[in-house]
Amino acid sequence: MILDYNITPPVESILKHYHPYPAHLQNYKRIYGKTSEKAESGRFEGKPLDVFLNFLDGLGITRFVVKARDIETTFGLKIPNESIAELVRSYPDRVIGIAGADPHKGSEAVRELDHAVRNLGLKGLNLQLYELELIASDRKLYPLYEKCTELGVPINIHVSVNFANRIPLKYGHPIHLDQVAVDFPDLKLIASPPGWPWVHELIAVAWRHQNVYIGLNSMRPKLLMKPGSGYEPLFTYGNGVLQDKMIFGSGWPLLPLEQTLSEIRSLPWRPQVLTKLLWDNAARVFGIA
C-alpha cells in the first residue's frame, strides 16, 4: 500500500487553476517542462476520474493527498476548499483533502480553516509560503498555527527553493520552521518539498523536533543517491534516525508516477524504512489505521 502525499488529480475544478500556468509560475514550465511531458497526464484528459484511480490501483497507490490553495491576496488565485471537499465526498476512502487559507485575510482565514476541517472534512492546512510572501515564523501565520493545534490537524509548509523567479528564495528557508516548532510543540508540521538547497538545516530542524516531518515530494528520488546533488543527506538520515519522519509524495503531474515510484523503490532502503516512507508515517500523521 502507498499513500502519496502530493497528487493533483485530473479534475477540471482543480486543473483549471494551473493550465495555463499562472503568470507568477511561468518559470516552472521551463524547469519541469521535460519531466511533466513524460508524465502520464495526457491519457486521462477528458476521461472520468475512475480511469485515473484505476491507474493508481495498478501502482499500489490506495490513498493520496490533494491540497487546496489560497493566495488571493498576493496573486489572486484560489483553489477552493469546497472543490477539494467535493472530491473527498466522492472518494472518501481514496482522497485526503487539505485546506487552503490566506493568512493575509486575518480572522476570516481562521474561520475558513475551522469550517473546512469541522464541516467539510478536510484534514490539514496547506501553506505555500513563497506565494504568500511570508517566512514560516511570521506572526501573521500564528493564528492559523493555533487553530491547527486546536483542531489536531497537520500543516503542509513549502520549505525549499521556489522557481517563481520573481519571488525571493528567503521564504522557503527551513530555519524559520525551527521557531514555529519551538512555539507550537504539539503542531504536526510537514516540510515539503524537502528543503533543497538547505537540506542540512531541514534535517537539523526535523531531528530536533518530534513534530516536524519531511515530505519527499516533487523531486526525482534518484537524486537522493546522486553525488553532488545536495539531496544525499536525506537518504542517509532518512534511512536511519529520521526514518519515522519521511513521507513520500510524487508531485504528479510535475513528475511521472511510474518512473518516480520505480526510482524510490530502487534505492537501498532498509526494508522497514521503505514501508514507513510509503505508508506508515503519513498514515500516522493523518490518523489512518
**Per-residue pLDDT tens digits for 52-75:** 999 999 999 999 999 999 999 999
Question: Residue range 95-122: average pLDDT?
Answer: 98
SS3 at position 126: strand
Distance in angstroms (rounded) separating the CA atoms of residues 99 and 114: 10
For the stretch 212-226, pLDDT in tens is 999 999 899 999 999
SS3 at position 47: coil
What CATH code is assigned to 2-286?
3.20.20.140
pLDDT at 131: 94
pTM score, whole prediction:
0.94
For residue 262 the three cell numbers come to: 520505480
For residue 201 the three cell numbers come to: 538545516
Under 8 Å CB-to-CB from 4, ≥6 apart: which residues?
56, 61, 63, 64, 65, 248, 249, 250, 252
Buried b (16+ CB within 10 A) or exposed e, 202-217: bbbbbeebebbbbbbb
pLDDT at residue 9 tops 80: yes
For residue 239 the three cell numbers come to: 534511512
Indicate the domain borders of the chain.
Answer: 2-286
Distance in angstroms (rounded) separating the CA atoms of residues 178 and 277: 23
Under 8 Å CB-to-CB from 215, ≥6 apart: which residues?
5, 6, 156, 190, 191, 192, 193, 194, 247, 248, 249
Q: How far is CA 9 from the centre of its chain?
A: 14
Q: How far apart are the first and last CA of the chain?
A: 12
SS3 at position 179: helix
Question: Residue range 232-261: average pLDDT?
Answer: 95
Distance in angstroms (rounded) separating the CA atoms of residues 286 and 236: 25
The answer to whether the CB of 249 falls within 8 A of the CB of 217 is: yes
For the stretch 27-44, pLDDT in tens is 777 767 667 666 677 788
Alpha helices in 215-267 (DSSP H): 232-238, 257-266
pLDDT at 194: 94
pLDDT at 248: 98
Question: Residue range 161-178: average pLDDT?
Answer: 92
Distance in angstroms (rounded) separating the CA atoms of residues 178 and 71: 24
Distance in angstroms (rounded) separating the CA atoms of residues 210 and 282: 14
Helices and strands: H and E segment counts in the chain: 14, 10
For the stretch 109-155, pLDDT in tens is 999 999 999 999 999 999 999 999 999 999 999 999 999 999 999 99
Residue with cell 514501508: 275
pLDDT at 261: 96
